[in-house]
Amino acid sequence: MYRFLWRRLPGGTALRVALVLLLTGAVAAALWYVVFPWLAPRVPIG
Amino acid sequence: MALPVSCREAILGCVPGENDRAVTTITRVIGELCLPVGLVLLLFYAYLLWGTDAETEQEQRVLQRRLGEVFRSDGHDGRDGPGPVKLGDALALLRIPRFGAGYRFAVVEGVGPEELRKGPGHYPGTALPGQVGNFVLSGHRTTYAAPFNRLDELRRGDDIVVDTRDARYTYRVTGKEVVDPGDVDVVDPVPGHPGRRPTTAVMTMTTCHPEFSAAQRLVVHGVLVRREERRD
Give the pLDDT score at B125: 92
Nearest-CA distance from B220 to chain A in Å? Answer: 16
Which one, of B202, B151, B194, lies nearest residue B174 by Cα?
B202
Nearest to B212 among A31, A40, A46 (CB): A46
Give the pLDDT score at A44: 75
Stretch B17-32: mean pLDDT: 86
Sign of CA pseudo-dihedral A38, B53, B43, A14: positive
Neighbours of B172 (CB within 10 A): 16
Stretch A32-42: mean pLDDT: 90
Q: CB-based contact (8 Å) between A5 and chain B? A: no
Stretch B184-194: mean pLDDT: 88
Instruction: Kindly list the distances between the CA atom of residue B153 and the CA atoms of A3, B140, B176, B210, B218, in Å, as whole numbers in the listed order.
Output: 54, 15, 10, 13, 11
Taking only the tens place, the pLDDT of each residue in B56-100 is 999 999 999 999 998 887 655 545 455 578 899 999 999 999 999
Stretch B184-212: mean pLDDT: 90
Residues in Cβ contact with B120 at an 8 Å cutoff, skipping those fewer than 6 apart = B94, B105, B107, B108, B137, B138, B139, B140, B147, B148, B205
Give the 3-state secondary structure of residue B150: coil
Give the pLDDT score at B75: 59
Give the pLDDT score at A29: 96
Sign of CA pseudo-dihedral B71, B77, B82, B88: negative
Lowest-pLDDT choice from B10-24, B52-66, B136-150 = B10-24
B126 pLDDT band (50/70/90 cuts)?
very high
Largest CA distance in chain B: 102
Give the pLDDT score at B124: 94
Q: Tell me: pLDDT of B14 over 70.
A: no
Structural domain harbouring A8? 2-42
Distance CA B222, CA B201 (A): 9
Nearest to A28 among B28, B29, B43 (CB): B43
In chain B, % of residues over pLDDT 90: 66
Rounded to the nearest integer, the mean pLDDT of chain B is 88
The answer to whether B122 touches B135, Cβ cutoff 8 Å, is yes
Q: Tell me: pLDDT of B6 over 90.
A: no
Q: How many residues does the structure list for chain B?
A: 232
3-state percent breakdown (helix, strand, coil) of chain B, nearest 5: 35, 25, 40
Give the pLDDT score at B185: 86
Identify the DSSP state of B69: H
Neighbours of B102 (CB within 10 A): 6
**Is 0.95 topped by the overall pTM?**
no
The ipTM, to two decimals, is 0.88
Distance CA B189, CA B206 (A): 15
Give the pLDDT score at B195: 86
Contacts with B141 from chain A: Cβ below 8 Å: 46
Distance CA B136, CA B207 (A): 11
Which one, of B192, B5, B217, lies nearest residue A46 by Cα?
B217
**Which uninterrupted H or E stretch holds B163?**
strand B159-163
Q: CB-based contact (8 Å) between A41 and chain B? A: yes
Q: CB-based contact (8 Å) between B71 and chain A? A: no
Q: Tell me: pLDDT of B45 over 90.
A: yes
Residues in Cβ contact with B121 at an 8 Å cutoff, skipping those fewer than 6 apart = B107, B108, B109, B110, B111, B112, B115, B137, B138, B139
Give the pLDDT score at B74: 66
Stretch B205-215: mean pLDDT: 88
Give the pLDDT score at B19: 80
List, in order of start, the domains of chain B with CATH numbers.
Answer: 50-229 (2.40.260.10)
Domain count, chain A: 1
Distance CA A42, CA B188 (A): 26
Give the pLDDT score at B106: 97
Nearest to B214 among A2, A36, A46 (CB): A46
